[in-house]
Amino acid sequence: RALSGITPAGWDATEAPGEWSPRQVVHHLADSETTSAIRLRRVLVEDDPLIQGYDQDAFARVLHYDRDPTLSLHLFRAVRASTAELIERLTESDWHRSGTHSDTGPYTLDDWLRIYGVHAHEHADQIRRARAAVGS
Q: What is the pLDDT along the chain (136 residues), one digit of tens a residue?
A: 899 999 998 999 999 999 999 999 999 999 999 999 999 999 999 999 999 999 999 999 999 999 999 999 999 999 999 999 999 999 999 999 999 999 999 999 998 888 888 999 999 999 999 998 888 7
Domain ranges of the chain: 9-134
HSE (CB half, 13 Å, CA atoms) of 44?
Answer: 16
CB 28 within 8 A of CB 59: yes
pTM for this entry: 0.93
CATH of domain 9-134: 1.20.120.450
- Distance set, CA 9 to CA 12, 23, 102, 105, 133 (Å): 6, 10, 38, 41, 12
- Bridge pairing between strands 98-101 and 50-51: parallel
Cβ-based neighbour number of residue 133 at 10 Å:
14
